[in-house]
Amino acid sequence: MSDASEIAAQLTALVREKTGDAAARISQPVALPGHAGQSYSFELDWRSADGPRHEKLVLRLAPAGVRISGPADVARQGRVMASLADTPVPVPPVRWLDDDPRAFGRPYFVVGFVEGVKLGEMQASPDEAREMARSVIEGLAALHAVDWQSRRAAWGEPFPLIEEMKRLDYLLDRPTLDPAAVSRAPDLRERLRASLPAESRIGCVHGDFQWSNLLLREGRLVAVIDWEISLVGATLLDLGWICLFSDPDSWAQRLLVPSHLPSPDELVSLYAERARFKVETKEVRWFQAFSAYRFGVITVFNLMLHRRGKRHDPVWEEIGKSAPRLFDRGLELLG
């Protein structure tokens, strides 16, 4: 049995168990792009006590054969999204999730399929893009206003900034990295350590809040997806991150940032209007610089894995061209 047919058979058994309809049927699952697991969209037809039902859903599976932790812990991602169901933060509705490997041999979740388009992939005038960005930043501010203490069971305990720095040390301090790509990363690291914010505001953090993970429809944010690296931590991590992916000056190929995207300064201004705490310019600059460092380190590490044949992914060759620029940009933002 092929992987696709095996997934279809397992999924059919799951939906029949969950819906209580022994005749429930699914369409052939369609693989979706992604790096931290396997995702499939499918349609489900079943009969409830109220009559026939039709749903379009997404199945997410942990990667096969890996330790279930961090980005591979898809059941945790499902619990994080479910914990936001009663908030203004738009997330896909969670249908089912489980750590139990009986259904697929590994953890999974199933959520509703949300129709939407990503701002970076659509044609939009600057005014239209600004209004959509306003909706995005409203969603970000809403996430950061969520009471994380009551959601500890899903989110876990706060993760300090210094621990995130140490995690990046683990990736950066390797002799197998390309010296030209690493460039001024050590200089930027020391500057960041020396100016680490002492008391940054803590809250729910998406961790990868950028345009590829934000779905819009009719000018409004309708879903924030891909919660693999969500955490309780410094909320400005998310603001610095989306600013990075809106900043042409951070990339060797400036055209990687569509011209209609709002500038980082516009995004910060929108966020400052909606945040429930005072947003200090100097602190925001630190998080923008940290985001450049963080993605630069991730880039050189993944480029090394690709070149050594550990994890084949040619996209890092292209992204890797920007690594030195990311580290330089971080130093510029620190002044």
Q: pLDDT tens track of the chain, all 335 residues?
A: 458 789 999 999 999 999 999 999 999 999 987 655 589 999 999 999 999 999 999 999 998 878 888 888 999 999 999 999 999 999 999 999 999 989 999 999 999 999 999 998 998 998 999 999 999 999 999 999 999 999 999 999 999 999 999 999 999 999 999 999 998 999 999 999 999 998 899 999 999 999 999 999 999 999 999 999 999 999 999 999 999 999 999 999 877 899 899 999 999 999 999 998 999 999 999 999 999 999 999 999 999 999 999 989 999 999 999 999 999 999 999 99
Cβ atoms of 224 and 143 closer than 8 Å: yes
Cβ atoms of 136 and 87 closer than 8 Å: no
pLDDT at 1: 44
**Which residue(s) pair with 249 in the sheet?**
none
> What is the residue whose two structure tokens read 């750590």?
99
Instruction: Tell me how far apart the alpha carbons of residues 211 and 5 are, in angstroms, rounded to a whole number.
Output: 33
Residue-range domains of the chain with CATH: 3-112 (3.30.200.20), 148-212+225-268+280-334 (3.90.1200.10)
How many beta carbons lie within 10 A of that of residue 30, not counting itself?
A: 12
Burial category of 303 from C-beta neighbours within 10 Å (exposed 0-12, middle 13-18, buried 19 and up): buried
List the one residue out of 272, 288, 279 whose CA is nearest residue 335.
288
List the one residue out of 254, 258, 262, 332 whose CA is nearest residue 292.
332
Question: What is the phi/psi pair of residue 302, to 5°?
Answer: -70, -30
pLDDT at 134: 97
> What is the residue whose two structure tokens read 């630069």?
296
HSE (side-chain half, CA atoms, 13 Å) at 156: 14
Instruction: Tell me how far apart the alpha carbons of residues 86 and 172 are, in angstroms, rounded to a whole number.
Output: 39
How many beta carbons lie within 10 A of that of residue 253, not counting itself?
A: 12
Collapsing DSSP states into helix, strand and coil, what is residue 221?
strand
Beta strands of the chain (E only): which ranges? 25-26, 30-32, 38-48, 51-61, 94-98, 108-112, 202-205, 214-217, 220-224, 231-234
pLDDT at 198: 87
> What is the residue whose two structure tokens read 């610089």?
289
CA end-to-end distance (rounded Å), the chain? 59
Collapsing DSSP states into helix, strand and coil, what is residue 146?
coil
pLDDT at 297: 98
Collapsing DSSP states into helix, strand and coil, what is residue 44?
strand
Collapsing DSSP states into helix, strand and coil, what is residue 264?
helix
